[in-house]
Amino acid sequence: MRPNPTLADLPLRPELVGEEPYGAPQLDVPVCLNVNENPYPPSAATLTDMAEAIRAAAYHRYPDREFTRLRGQLADYLGHGLGVENVWAANGSNEVMTHVLGAFGGPGRRVLSFTPTYSMYPEYARNTHTAYVTAPRRADFTLDAELVLGAIAEHDPSVVLITTPNNPTGTTTPLAVVEEVVAGTDAIVVVDEAYQEFSRTPGATALSLLPRYGNLVVSRTMSKAFAFAGGRLGYLAAAPAVVDACRIVRLPYHLSAQTQAVASVALAHADEMLARVDDLRAARDDLVARSRELGFEVVDSDANFALVGRWADRHLAWQQLLERGVLVRETGPAGYLRVSAGTPEEMEAFLAALAAIDAPRM
């Protein structure tokens, strides 16, 4: 082969031809409200503890492959009587999900999700050679057991993804619906609770169902409420056998010594790391109410973001906001932009920009 080949010269898997690497634009602008981060950094004291933990880690040795201490801390954080054997983790819940699909998806199998939903799911499916099938949510973006079980009967998936609160709509699926679904199938049901801490009912979590249903997997992340997106730590809770299945497909030592050390410090400071969740819930409610006062359509949200719209050309609206120093996300149902809850200053900047732009609406 000639030097410096193009992708077309390489024996790329056919299903990857024409694909682009996934990711929201990473732009250096004053107000970033595009990836649902927690805008509040850890305190100086916590950062000092993180630095000390990194200094103390043994870099000439491989890290603990089973990261038992961290799993114990995650289990304690989750409560619900969970132990080390119920918890699994990886570099972000994105990687956790590839473990789940690596173990329970694969050639000839299907993973089912309910659209509009998180745009990474089809990529996990593709990368694990799992077929990706979807069913639309109701017009108000809700799910009920009839819809979900009907789609399961139609598609016969080995894995079902229920995202609650859902990204990008912010919609919660009631616990009773989740229970009816989990009870009505033997497929692995992954309840993606990446945004659960922001919910109006954070206690209504599928974790409470785990003792009764062996096919239930609850996925969580430290990237959102926990203010640890840069640390890359996602995790799940499930029956020990599900954890064992993930252990079969993970790469050995996938969680580095630094990741384990820093995440462990973050969990030891859970109260501080989570201290701004109430503020962010209030910022979300304010974002929804004030955008509506400006005459925009906004979807009710239980997460730390909301869909605002609707524009005839949402890319133009996105561009006009960007010109005013505000980066939001061009994703979700037609005409909407997704806006993360930020600091009071960021929210004022967004609302001022929103009031100023003139992109035509639907």
| 203 vs 164: CA distance, rounded Å | 13
Structure tokens belonging to residue 206: 């599928």
Alpha-carbon separation of residue 290 from 130, 287, 317, 351, 355 (angstroms): 42, 5, 18, 8, 10
Amino acid at 20: E
Q: Are 335 and 317 in contact (CB under 8 A)?
A: no
Residue 94 within binding range of ligand PMP, rule CB under 6 A: yes
Nearer to ligand PMP, 93 or 171 (CB): 93
Among positions 125, 194, 236, 262, the unique one binding ligand PMP when judged by CB under 6 A: 194
156 contacts: CB under 8 Å, gap ≥ 6: 110
Among positions 33, 34, 36, 75, the unique one binding ligand PMP when judged by CB under 6 A: 36
Nearer to ligand PMP, 290 or 330 (CB): 330
Alpha-carbon separation of residue 332 from 208, 228, 257, 285, 337 (angstroms): 30, 24, 37, 19, 7
Q: Least distance (Å) from ligand PMP to the CB of residue 117?
A: 8
Q: Are 133 and 156 in contact (CB under 8 A)?
A: no
Phi-psi region of 80 (alpha: psi -120 to 50; beta: other; left: phi over 0): left
Q: Least distance (Å) from ligand PMP to the CB of residue 207?
A: 16
Q: Are 216 and 192 in contact (CB under 8 A)?
A: no
Q: Least distance (Å) from ligand PMP to the CB of residue 153?
A: 25
Residue 118 within binding range of ligand PMP, rule CB under 6 A: yes
Alpha-carbon separation of residue 324 from 29, 117, 255 (angstroms): 9, 28, 39
The residue sitting closest to ligand PMP, measured at its beta carbon, is 92
Among positions 167, 291, 301, 340, the unique one binding ligand PMP when judged by CB under 6 A: 167
Among positions 42, 63, 92, 170, the unique one binding ligand PMP when judged by CB under 6 A: 92
Structure tokens belonging to residue 285: 């409610």
Among positions 63, 122, 234, 309, the unique one binding ligand PMP when judged by CB under 6 A: 234
Specify the residue for token string 């699994």: 88
Among positions 37, 192, 302, 346, the unique one binding ligand PMP when judged by CB under 6 A: 192
Residue 104 within binding range of ligand PMP, rule CB under 6 A: no
Q: Least distance (Å) from ligand PMP to the CB of residue 233?
A: 7
Q: Given the rule CB under 6 A, which of 78-86, 175-183, 206-214, 221-229 is the region that contacts ligand PMP?
A: 221-229
Q: Given the rule CB under 6 A, which of 87-95, 178-186, 210-218, 268-276 is the region that contacts ligand PMP?
A: 87-95
Structure tokens belonging to residue 228: 């640890």
Among positions 46, 113, 128, 163, the unique one binding ligand PMP when judged by CB under 6 A: 163
Residue 93 within binding range of ligand PMP, rule CB under 6 A: yes
- Which residues here bind ligand PMP, judged by CB under 6 A? 36, 92-94, 118, 163, 167, 192, 194, 221, 223, 229, 234
